Amino acid sequence: MTTPVLSVKDLVVEFPTRHGPLTAISGVSFDLAPGEILGMVGESGAGKSLTGSAIIGLLDPPGRIASGEIWLQGERIDQLRGDDMRVLRGRRVGMVFQDPLTSLNPLYTIAEQLIETIRTHLEISVNEARKRAIGLLDDVGIPAASRRIDDYPHQFSGGMRQRVVIALALAAEPALVIADEPTTALDVSVQAQIIEVLKEQCTQRGASIMLITHDMGVIAETADRVAVMYAGRIAEIGPVKDIIQNAMHPYTSGLMGSIPSLTQEDDRLVQIPGAMPRLAAMPAGCAFHPRCERVFDKCTASRPQLIPMGTHEVSCWLYDDATAVAAKP
């Protein structure tokens, strides 16, 4: 079997407090195959961005990885610190953040930032790095790249800045690109263009993508598989088409039902009652049970693990053979 580009095993992320640790990510596991695009979707606070930050060692203190393992191309990386982690970021893992203004230094030209990034990870001359930088800008769709490379970030539109950020993420030909809400800060008119550029450039380079977003439309158009997160855990994971057409977890069904349809004439969209629980007030059992219409006794008592169901894995007692009978409506 091919070694996964990324393998996350039972990841737990905690934030110490005066009243004890708060668990923000609880037992998250998934693999990402070479060239694959994995979407991670869920409400704000579900743990999507935190998972991405943990993978590349950018957790904000006092957050820490309490347990679990993270493997990149067969090498364990969750224990890397300092310079070792800085070498990994950029060289083997590229990052695209949601706001390009915070990713680019306003005091330096695009050329200076790209050339510095390239030469940090590749042993090439300044002239070679500049040629490479111009090629990257051309690849991501910056017009007149040889001239515009000497402009400052404020001289670019939001969409063009995000194209520059994609070029920065791909500068050292990484095996994995983590894109954290890459279109959130952009106009709707350019969002599809940015996603297409990201997908096209990573596909050409053979890079895998972990795409973090709350937009199921983006996931449906872009990803090969999708992991639906809720309250720091994966509720359901599987091929995008299968999950959209046959969502199994009640939370996933709610997300699918909240998307407007062009073919069905429904008076109202599906609404999931309530809100995601706070870390300090996580309910016992399944974290979704206070909002679930199909809750039964076992849901309130113990937390389900991911259960294989055909092409899916779903964390729900409805699909456990020993308890499913009790859950029938």
- In the block, tokens 């990034």 appear at 117
Question: Residue 262: its pLDDT value, please?
Answer: 64
b/e per residue 244-283 (b: at least 16 CB within 10 A): beebbbbbbbbbbeeeeeeeeeeeeeeebeeebbebeebe
**Residue where the block lists tokens 């954290």:** 180
Q: Which residue has the tokens 């699918």?
A: 256
Structure confidence at residue 68 (pLDDT): 97
pTM of the complete model: 0.92
Domains in the chain (CATH in brackets) are: 6-229 (3.40.50.300), 231-261+270-327 (no CATH)
pLDDT of 266: 64
Mean pLDDT by 10 residues, the chain (329 residues): 91 93 95 96 92 93 95 94 87 89 91 95 94 97 96 94 95 95 84 92 95 88 95 96 93 82 68 89 94 93 93 93 49
CA dihedral for 261, 254, 309, 4, sign (positive or negative): positive
75-79: long-range contacts, CB 8 A cutoff, minimum separation 24 = 78/54
Q: What is the pLDDT of residue 320?
A: 85
Give CA–CA dist 85/35, Å, rounded. Answer: 23
Of 200, 258, 167, 272, the residue nearest 230 (C-alpha): 272
User: What's phi and psi for 207, nearest 5 deg?
Assistant: -85, 145
